[in-house]
Structure 1
């Protein structure tokens, strides 16, 4: 039977008859996550997929499926900014069922995603894939990004696929995990010590889900800087326009997806957000994702990154002590944020490779006081 490549149906409700394709999509994501990362902790559930794929005023997201009759055997998800200045589209997920590989299905899915992006005015595409660390035999030839020390096997299936389709490796992210069970008192003590040692006038403000009204405008500015301030390797990340309305939209979408979002922000003496960090608690999973973390350039040098991360970990313990593991993504060349995360107890277990076509020229040295999300999700650190 021939393979049909088309967008996966997005139902109005999950419990309706038209929700079967989205359920099959979530199940295939789960199986491929377990194969690739040896865990399904971070796999998006149907409720999250439904919210991600709904119409938005800020981004366009399409999930293409490869269907053999009524069976979903592969997928590719693509998204881009709905901004006249944006020219890049991102393909954070592309996968094919293990029983149907080497049939050209992945290539057809990639072509569908690229065609949709180009038709919408986004000729540059960025492709992502994940790799377990230490999963390759000793002496395996390696491929490296323009910056950072990490590498992946040159003959990894994802590397061969990317090279065959004209993509160049632009950046590697470390995917790290930290066990937090039983560490509430430790985080509280470390936060108290860091606060006592501070000689500045910054204060830390924490909230759940919705941003406070008095901070939402400056928080939007911090989000906008988050899109371009972190190290980018040779990837052409573009400025995302943010305002208070977009912050509110993101808050509501997170709630609708079943997630709980914890935010800790450093607030400067003038009342503006100097930096922030986010933790996202997944529904139906014990896992927590460390999302965006940034300290804006004028406010660096005060150890605010460590203080806001500790404050958010304390808030996590207060809200849901049963959550036992936090995951984070960091550019391999982002030494400053990696040092903070290692000091907290994060340990790398996988890498996310990021590939671009056409390839961008490597930029000059980038600042290191921010983290970004990866994975899936394309999510932050």
Structure 2
């Protein structure tokens, strides 16, 4: 039986007692997260999704659904930079309800996403897929390789099983593995004293100062923070994936802050400030609403300022800020390219442990 693929309607249902399409979309994401990752504490609730998909002047967000009658049986989420020079779209999620697989619903979602991206002037499509614990080989945990053989990205040491359903799907549609990201988790509850002691043991960061804030960047840092965000979009290891430059300025930083608050998120930032008053590096923690989990977002030290252990200092400063802002939080999740040895070493030193792998695919 086929399914109709179209964009998710963001409005609430006509019948106040019936769930909206966005409710069904959020419920399917939660169901897929539980299946793939063993937890739903990273799943976004409906209010956050609504704000995510609302008008964003900098990045387009297109949620797609596959419907059998009025029932949502599959979903996909497509994004791209609105910049006129951008040519790449990112399919950050694609999934089908377990009882409706092997019915070409995933293929229909992908084909529709490819058409939407092409019509938007984004002929290059990048796919992402999650592989939970036990579904890949992370060098940090020594997981045994798959008897069906493994697939390795062009850079890095981690592998994923060649017979994994997501792997077979991507390859069958002409996509090549371009990168593997390690997803790691750090238990943080009750560790404030430990983080403070480790921070005290670090050498003084001269000539840098570290500044921290909650939700809104200081006015005197917002312009140079935008520069650092822009560098983050292309300086992070990208394997064989065509990540494109994101243009950032102070207005985009402020818009991101407003949107994050509207989603119900709390954002914690630690930044290293150089003697000239400019941001030399920063790290961001994002606290999900109604969850014990925290997402580690961007961390970067600009090239001219590396070699001073600023990455470790910034992460420790922000972990202490997290303890002060919300000591009830239990875990921090982070995503790092498998080839990013320096950042992975910092995370291992802090106590992050392997959680999952994320594969990233692009059609050659």
TM bucket, shorter chain: over 0.9
Q: Which moved more, 1:231-240 or 1:2-11?
A: 2-11
Output one character per residue of 1:170-197: Cα deviation in whole Å (capped at 9) or x when no partner. Answer: 0000000010111011111111222xx1
Task: Give the deviation of 1:127 after TM superposition.
Answer: 0.1
**Paired residue secondary structure (1:174):** strand
1:287 aligns with 2:293: yes
Task: Give the deviation of 1:218 after TM superposition.
Answer: 0.2
Label 1:273 to 1:35 Cα distance change in 2 as closer, same or farther (>3 A). same
8 Å CA contact 1:11–1:19 kept in 2: the answer is no
Aligned residue among 185, 193, 197 for 1:177: 185
1:204 aligns with 2:210: yes
1:90 aligns with 2:90: yes
Q: What does residue 164 of structure 2 align with?
A: 156
1:72 aligns with 2:62: no
Q: Partners of 2:103 and 2:206 in 1: how far apart?
A: 60
8 Å CA contact 2:280–2:305 kept in 1: the answer is yes
Q: What does residue 338 of structure 1 align with?
A: 344
Label 1:2 to 1:172 Cα distance change in 2 as closer, same or farther (>3 A). closer
Q: What does residue 229 of structure 2 align with?
A: 223
Q: What does residue 24 of structure 1 align with?
A: 24
Q: What TM-score do the two structures reach when normalised by structure 1?
A: 0.91
Q: Partners of 1:50 and 1:233 in 2: how far apart?
A: 32
8 Å CA contact 1:126–1:235 kept in 2: the answer is yes
Label 1:292 to 1:98 Cα distance change in 2 as closer, same or farther (>3 A). same
Q: Partners of 1:128 and 1:14 in 2: how far apart?
A: 34
Aligned length: 356
Output one character per residue of 1:246-267: Cα deviation in whole Å (capped at 9) or x when no partner. Answer: 0001001100000100000000
Q: How does 1:274-313 map to 2 (within 5 A)?
A: 274-313=280-319
8 Å CA contact 2:211–2:272 kept in 1: the answer is yes
8 Å CA contact 2:146–2:161 kept in 1: the answer is no
Output one character per residue of 1:263-282: Cα deviation in whole Å (capped at 9) or x when no partner. Answer: 00000111000000000000
1:50 aligns with 2:50: yes
Label 1:199 to 1:276 Cα distance change in 2 as closer, same or farther (>3 A). closer
Q: Which moved more, 1:209-218 or 1:197-206?
A: 197-206
RMSD: 1.7
The unaligned stretches of length 5 or more in structure 2 are 137-144
**Paired residue secondary structure (1:228):** helix
Q: Partners of 2:14 and 2:304 in 1: how far apart?
A: 46
Q: What does residue 268 of structure 1 align with?
A: 274
Q: Partners of 1:128 and 1:355 in 2: how far apart?
A: 6
Q: What does residue 62 of structure 1 align with?
A: 62
Which of structure 1's runs of 4+ aligned residues deviate more than 4 A?
12-19
Task: Give the deviation of 1:341 after TM superposition.
Answer: 0.4
Output one character per residue of 1:147-179: Cα deviation in whole Å (capped at 9) or x when no partner. Answer: 000000001000000001110000000000010
